[in-house]
Structure 1
Amino acid sequence: MSVVEPASAQLMNGTALARETLDRTAERARKLLAETGVRPCLATVLVGDDPASVTYVAMKRRRSAAAGIESRHLPLPGRTTTAELVAAIRALSDDPTVHGILLQHPVPAHIDERAAFEAIAPAKDVDGVTMWSFAAMAFGRDDGFVSCTPGGIMRLLDAYGVDPAGKRAVVVGRSPILGKPMGMLLLARDATVTYCHSRTVDLSSVVATADILVAAVGRPEFIRGADIKPGAVVIDAGYNPGNVGDVDAAGAGERAGLLTPVPGGVGPMTIAVLLDQTVLAAERVAAVAASTAVTSTAAAAR
């Protein structure tokens, strides 16, 4: 990726890439069902009735159905305790017909969200939210699952020919399911990664060094367009009321080489990766079952 002064930023079409990803995912799901009788199943867990969360879960369930993935939904009342939620998630983890588990974020404030996440079996953590998954990302293991939004961002970079190797990457945000794993995935691809956040001193000067900038701080237009390095790749992972991202889109459009729009950039890829990883989880289960059957047959023949 050469850094040059652009006339205007090229928008990175996450909607189109997500559609292609989901088409391939649906084909894999059909093949798995035809060959093994296994239909991938994603269980969604929603605590309370937050309107945005309800809408988001409904969208995921529709996309699951379109991709040939069974959607099993577990709605829980807002008064649900941490212990009750953990027990419900453990029951899904123990259910062999469930391949992936999604706990809709955020949960009500009285719940220990980390305890709930950790109740998800690593083999079913298709949203990439457990400590095991984070460790797998940090160590470059291929037997875990990536956090969906960072994973979707990496696929966007690949689709637009952006090689992170040797580039300076700045991640603004440090959440355990977005900012932190984003940095790990970029580091694994040989980028030089700097983490920043809302309390970083002189953030503008750090942003100005970024060949690849990922904004994931959760504040509308927190990143000023004037601070962006000419020709930089700008990934806006924020979504705030009014379809506003974490980046000053107008200003960034005048300086960036590549820019994700809000909406239509990162968001569609998050769901696409979630469903892709659900099918992968089911494929892994089917592969283990097939291997076990072959071993048992061989042992019986001896």
Structure 2
Amino acid sequence: MKTIWGNELANEVKDTIRSEVDQIKAEGKRLPVLAVVLVGDNPASQSYVQSKANACINVGMENRTITLDGNISQEELLDTVKKLNADEKVDGILVQLPLPKHLDADSVIMAIDPSKDVDGLHPVNAGNLLTGRPGFVPCTPKGIMYMLKSVGLEN
């Protein structure tokens, strides 16, 4: 049996990202920006979004948390996503799930530009994953694969 030290691996990943962001800074380029959309006041979602903001700060990235009222309409939420898609300063978009029951998460996921879909939930990214093409991969399975690889358990 092999022990996987998740915190150590997480720190390695953060160190790598921090180095990459430092290199971007040293070259005088714009820092990467993650936009996180939080709809409503679900305490678990709020905590998760705060942890993402802290992770961005920890590696030197910029974070934009957009907090929307839980009663927002589908149209207003889709408009927010469209604006983030069009914003050249936003590199990644994450809409925190679950959404309030009156909102259609599938439509929101479909509205995210696949090149900014850091959760890897858009069908384009899911298809790329399935066919072995490059694209965003959902973080939980990617993290699990990284942990397994760290102890020599691949494929």
Q: Is this a same-fold pair by TM over 0.5? A: yes
Which of 158, 163, 166 is residue 149 of structure 2 equivalent to? 158
Q: In 1, Cα distance between the equivalents of 2:21 and 2:95?
A: 22
Aligned to 2:21: 29
Alignment of 1:86-235 (within 5 A): 86-142=78-134, 144-164=135-155
Question: How big is the shift at 1:15?
Answer: 1.5
Secondary structure in structure 2 of the residue aligned to 1:149: helix
SS at match of 2:94: strand
Q: Take 1:131 and 1:85, find their aligned partners in 2: how far apart are those partners?
A: 19
Where structure 2 has 5 or more consecutive residues not aligned to the other structure, the ranges are none
Distance change in 2, residues 1:131/1:159 (3 Å): same
Aligned-partner Cα distance in 2 for 1:53–1:79: 16
1:42-72 residue CA offsets vs partner (Å, 9 max, x unmatched): 0010000000110110111011011011001
CA RMSD of aligned residues (A): 1.1
The alpha carbon displacement at 1:33 in A equals 2.2
Look at both structures and tell me which one has the larger radius of gyration over its CA atoms: 1
* Native 8 Å contact 2:2 2:151 kept in 1: no
Q: Per-residue displacement from partner, 1:195-235 (whole Å, max 9, x unpaired)?
A: xxxxxxxxxxxxxxxxxxxxxxxxxxxxxxxxxxxxxxxxx
Q: Kindly state the Cα deviation for residue 19 of structure 1 after the two structures are TM-superposed.
A: 0.8
Number of aligned positions between the proteins: 155
Corresponding residue of 2:63? 71
Shift of 1:36: 4.4
Q: Which amino acid aligns with 1:20?
A: E
Q: How far did residue 129 of structure 1 move?
A: 1.1
Q: Residue 10 of structure 2 aligns with which residue?
A: 18
Q: Kindly indicate whether residue 37 of structure 2 is the aligned counterpart of residue 45 of structure 1.
A: yes
The alignment's TM-score, normalised by the length of structure 1, stands at: 0.50
Offset at 1:156?
A: 0.9
Residue matched to 2:48? 56
Any idea what SS the aligned residue of 2:140 has? helix
> Equivalent residue for 1:84?
76
- The 2-side partners of 1:69 and 1:136 are apart by 26
Percent pairwise identity? 39
1:38: Cα distance to partner?
Answer: 1.6
Q: Which amino acid aligns with 2:19?
A: E
Q: Mind listing any 5+ residue stretches in structure 1 that lack a counterpart?
A: 1-8, 165-302
Instruction: Provide the C-alpha distance between the structure 2 equivalents of 1:33 and 1:114, rounded to a whole number of angstroms.
Output: 36
Deviations 1:168-211 (A, max 9, x none): xxxxxxxxxxxxxxxxxxxxxxxxxxxxxxxxxxxxxxxxxxxx
Look up the equivalent residue of 2:90 and give its one-letter code. Answer: V
Which residues of 2 match residues 256-275 of structure 1 at below 5 A? none
Task: Provide TM-score, normalisation by structure 2.
Answer: 0.96
Structure 2 CA distance for aligned equivalents of residues 131 and 36 of structure 1:
34
